[in-house]
């Protein structure tokens, strides 16, 4: 390993997950099965990818663990919060993502993961009605109770470090309001004043995590850490934050396929995306206010890759539509259709159709692993605030919109950012250009 200022990954890493549904139980079960040598962590960059370090005669392609100090899967300890009291085993069976034969070998470990009571507000996810919920006087009390959960987890398990990951449902859309979200002081006051309509439960989790020294990852499109008040808190606590929304199916295709159209200098008339899914995520997104949160995150992808101001002949006035349809028979086996209307030489129209029959949790589980390991790495490297190098894994990457910054959504540019950050944290030169 090169000379690096990154602290080594000593001891155990605690991963505390908000939500013990399909995604998190698939993630946890896969890690436990891989530890036993009974499964492979396919889809995980931290476990498989090789990155070039050095140039010319010094060039080497190394696994991430050979570039930077990373915890092994044996070092991970899990905990979760959920509105339903089912333990991780029951929840994994109920989710019907994995077959019983792929769950039963780690049954005892899963049975031991019992969800803590969730900090929950029914108004933020009207389709959920679990009773494993904290009784909170106000939002500030909600924060205090979550902080206590994190402290107890550290004390009871003896973990060295903790990361908090949101893998729960999409909340209703909360528009950033600078009166409450503009500064840390304003945010704290709004929590104390119990301003329920501007302080989502997820904000209480993020605030509590950062106050307890834990980096926070937002895996849904919620506003949560995407506000100046949280950026200020991340700076004050010197902790990394990442978000938002796991990039699993359709948006992954979009962020990888749109650059094909762009680099080939083809025109775009319209891109229609529709999804059918039947899991708890689909149920929650069937509520218009929750779908609005998701729509905002999905729509931003294309506009930052195919830009009218760069190529007015090709990308002026294309029509972009995103739809999500709740369809119970599909459960976790999501289907994403994309109809893309393009035009070529002399304006002649053509079409591209993509039909992605994906398994949502199977694609999300390795992202959860990578995000947790990489944000822990960022913290050990002394990085804090928004971790833009993690945009590769996220649908709606955080950026400083107050300064007119634009998110990077092009998958290949995101990959370059990721590789450069890993090189840098490993003590190598971040030598790849982002064109």
- pLDDT score at 286: 84
pLDDT of residue 48: 98
DSSP state of 311: -
Q: State the Cα–Cα distance between residues 431 and 421, nearest whole angstrom.
A: 10
CB 391 within 8 A of CB 417: yes
Rounded Cα distance, 168 and 281, in Å: 8
Dist CA 280 CA 334 (whole Å): 12
**Residue 133 carries which DSSP code?**
B
**Predicted local confidence at residue 293, as pLDDT:** 82
216 closest CA partner among 415, 18, 417: 18
The H or E element containing residue 63 is strand 60-63
pTM, two decimals, is: 0.96
The predicted structure's pLDDT at residue 235: 98
Distance, in Å, from the CA atom of 317 to the CA atom of 339, rounded to the nearest integer, reads 17
- Six token digits for residue 194: 């119990």
**Residue pLDDT, tens place only, 103-142:** 999 999 999 999 999 999 999 999 899 999 999 999 999 9
Model pLDDT, residue 435: 82
Query: Which residues of the chain are modeled with pLDDT < 70?
Result: 1-2
Per-residue tokens: 230: 């949280």
Q: Across the strands, what pairs with 246?
A: 394
Q: How many CB atoms lie within 10 A of CB 280?
A: 22
Nearest to 217 by CA among 192, 242, 247: 242
The burial of 57, by beta-carbon neighbours within 10 Å (0-12 exposed, 13-18 middle, 19 or more buried), is given as: exposed
The pair phi, psi for residue 73, each rounded to 5°, is -65, -25
| Cβ-count burial 294-316 (b if 16+ within 10 Å, e if not) | bbbbbebbbbbbbeeeeeeebbe
d(CA 198, CA 181): 8
Concatenated DSSP letters of 210-254: HHTT--EEE-SS-STT-SHHHHHHHHHHT-EEEES-B--SHHHHH
In the chain the domains, ranked by start, together with CATH numbers, are: 13-246+362-425 (3.40.50.720), 250-358 (3.30.360.10)
Six-digit token pair at 35? 């530890």
């Amino acid at each position: 390993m090169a000379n690096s200022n990154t602290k080594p990954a000593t001891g155990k890493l605690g991963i505390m997950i908000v939500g013990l549904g399909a995604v998190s139980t698939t993630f946890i079960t896969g890690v436990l099965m891989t530890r036993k040598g009974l499964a492979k962590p396919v889809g995980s960059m931290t476990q498989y990818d090789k990155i070039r370090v050095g140039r010319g005669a010094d060039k080497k392609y190394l696994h991430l663990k050979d570039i930077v100090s990373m915890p092994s899967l044996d070092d991970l300890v899990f905990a979760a919060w959920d509105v339903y009291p089912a333990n991780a085993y029951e929840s994994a069976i109920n989710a019907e993502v994995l077959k019983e034969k792929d769950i039963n070998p780690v049954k005892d470990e899963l049975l031991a993961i019992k969800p803590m009571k969730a900090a929950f507000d029914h108004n933020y996810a009207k389709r959920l009605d679990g009773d494993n919920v904290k009784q909170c006087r106000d939002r500030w009390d909600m924060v205090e109770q979550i902080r206590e959960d994190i402290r107890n987890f550290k004390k009871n398990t003896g973990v060295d470090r903790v990361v908090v990951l949101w893998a729960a449902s999409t909340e209703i859309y909360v528009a950033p309001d600078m009166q409450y979200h503009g500064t840390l002081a304003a945010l704290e006051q709004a929590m104390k004043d119990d301003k329920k309509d501007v302080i989502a439960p997820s904000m209480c989790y993020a605030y509590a995590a950062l106050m307890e020294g834990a980096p926070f990852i937002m895996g849904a499109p919620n506003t949560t850490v995407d506000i100046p008040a949280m950026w200020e808190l991340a700076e004050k606590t010197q902790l990394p934050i990442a978000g938002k929304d796991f990039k699993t199916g359709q948006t992954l295709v979009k962020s990888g396929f749109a650059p094909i159209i762009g680099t080939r200098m083809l025109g775009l008339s319209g891109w229609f995306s529709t999804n059918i899914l039947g899991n708890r995520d689909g149920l929650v997104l069937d509520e218009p206010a929750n779908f609005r949160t998701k729509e905002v995150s999905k729509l931003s992808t294309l506009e930052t890759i195919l830009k009218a101001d760069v190529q007015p002949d090709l990308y002026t006035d294309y029509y972009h539509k995103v739809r999500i349809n709740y369809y119970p028979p599909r459960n976790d086996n999501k289907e994403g259709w994309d109809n893309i209307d393009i035009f070529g030489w002399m304006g002649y129209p053509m079409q591209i159709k993509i039909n992605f029959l994906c398994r949502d949790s199977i694609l999300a589980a390795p992202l959860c692993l990578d995000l947790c390991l990489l944000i822990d790495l960022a913290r050990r490297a002394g990085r804090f605030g928004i971790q833009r190098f993690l945009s590769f894994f996220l649908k709606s990457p955080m950026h400083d919109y107050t300064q007119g910054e634009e998110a990077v959504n092009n998958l290949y540019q995101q990959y370059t950012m990721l590789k450069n950050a890993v090189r840098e944290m490993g003590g190598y030169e971040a030598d790849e250009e982002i064109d």
